[in-house]
Structure 1
């Protein structure tokens, strides 16, 4: 499909980087539009992009603006996702937003899907969605997981939030044949905490090793994405005792308020920000920065690996 006929817009900056084989990292917009308070969210969006640019990597922040998915935003586009009220856009919402010419901030699922369609191979987020507690009754499972089974994108995340069912999420990723590797760890992180106590099979030591896993995945033709679980350094994680106390209080508050089903997780996350006095929010930002930096390193390693392979084939 030619770029002109694609049902999405790739910014000139991202298109040039992709065409020349330079490193590119996708960034989601839901964390900006829904995950952070204003005006802190605009500052964060600009900071995440600057972390990448300062490392020689092109940022590709993804969002749907007036019905058109954008892979890479200009300064005005970044201001729009930070300042306008927008729907959360998962993959299933994309055709509806297109038909209505409406705007939406892309979730992990939609960002991974659109990044893959555009040819962006590395994506940084905070934490993945996953299987929700009580999913055996509610069937509540994030579309992030199924999208990763189809995207072919390497996603750097700090695991999943500890309000989710981590063992069930790992089982689901296994069922979907999505490779999960820990960055210098085999203890799957639980977002605010560096570990969850749930062991994963494989760890990787550096970005070039992750790039080689990506190449092997391509050669095998599986098509799934790859999850790189990147824990915060221990000194930056949320204090575990405070974390456990606030989570217990949040679950008790949800039960007392009669919150059920899909409303539970948004309730818990909002409660946790307030109950922690903003501590969880600051840890969120550290997580995002940490993941963006690693994603940039992976994109550089991937660009180098692809370039070396092209040079070898030309000899």
Structure 2
């Protein structure tokens, strides 16, 4: 039986003097399943800005080699804005944080093969435990927002940039389909920068769920909550964030208070890549209906709907997706830089 949120969030934290890093004590033996690159390790120990990145978008979203090009472009944007990228995925029986060029190629190449996993929180122990027991069962795993957040927190990374958040699916009263991304934000202190929730979800119920989980939600420069492809969908944002500096201050205050929930910073898609809400909604309605007819549910639902939207928009949706992800990478880097200034450099994660 799952404990109420208030009980699950009772403090169990270790606080460091500079930066007040609220890292919960790491479980014994976790290091054997984690591989952190030297670059990311050095940056964390030096208090330099680091931005976590998911990998499910590469293994289950874009085909190869377009996914490799996107991964390289995202990391380049983060470096250009003063932060260190930390792409997270499952490779060779380890949760890898920060990929080499060879590892990036191995991870993105899996998009064209069936032997891969989409890894959320529930899948982490299975993916790592089965590979430990039998190395021949080691698969490439693309981590979702939930899976990435767990590993990022274990590594000591506080800022995570991605495309769009999962959420409460339409028709939830029949399917009970609620993304694990939402509950993860409620129990893991990692800030997520994204273009709002994916537009085919029930956005109002998604925001209600996040409120119940104690997750702060703010939108950069607007009082309207963005809807992935669209800058707004007629739904008010719970709050407005002026810039990266203000976002960093919110993250810093949350860690200083010992809060164990994350924050969601919605970053509207740049206008040049936007598909207006009035246009995309009819397309989404058709895609959702097609998914129901095809019996695409659970982890297969989102990939089916995104592929159907891509077909119906004749490729415009993937251009929008690419544009918003690069924009979020830029903002994520700026937030991480401002947070590192607040925290100072006198800290060590003991790697």
| 1:74 alignment counterpart | 100
Instruction: Supply the distance in 2 between the matched residues of 1:260 and 1:75 (Cα, whole angstroms).
Output: 34
CA distance in 1, matches of 2:334, 2:247: 10
Residue of structure 2 in register with 1:191 after alignment: 228
> What pairs up with 1:1-315 in 2 under 5 angstroms?
6=31, 7-84=33-110, 85=113, 86-101=116-131, 102=138, 103-255=140-292, 257-259=293-295, 261-262=297-298, 263-307=300-344
Superposed CA RMSD in Å reads: 1.9
Q: CA deviation at 1:2?
A: 10
Note if contact 2:270-2:327 (Cα within 8 Å) is conserved in structure 1: no
8 Å contact 2:291–2:305 — kept in the other structure? yes
How many residue pairs get aligned? The number is 309
Describe the SS at the equivalent of 1:78: helix
Pairwise CA distance, 1:99: 1.9
Q: Unaligned stretches of 5+ in structure 2?
A: 1-25, 132-137
Mark the CA change 1:70 to 1:113 in structure 2 (over 3 Å): closer, same or farther.
same
**Any conservation in 2 of the 1:66–1:98 contact (CA below 8 Å)?**
no
Structure-2 separation of matches of 1:189 and 1:93:
29
Find the residue that maps to 1:70 and give its secondary structure: strand
SS in 2 for 1:232: coil
Q: Give unmatched runs, 5+ long, in structure 1.
A: none
Per-residue deviation, residues 99-126 of structure 1 (Å, max 9, x unmatched): 2222311001010111011101100000
Local SS of the residue matching 2:344: helix
SS in 2 for 1:285: helix
* TM-score computed with the length of structure 1 as normaliser: 0.93
Q: TM-score under structure 2 normalisation? A: 0.84
Task: After TM superposition, give the deviation of residue 266 of structure 1 in Å.
Answer: 2.9
Divergent runs of 4+, >4 A: 1-5
Question: Distance in 2 between the 1:57 and 1:143 partners?
Answer: 28
Question: Counterparts of 2:200 and 2:27 in 1: how far apart (Å)?
Answer: 43
C-alpha offsets along residues 251-281 of structure 1, whole Å, 9 cap, x if unaligned? 34345x3535434433221111111111000
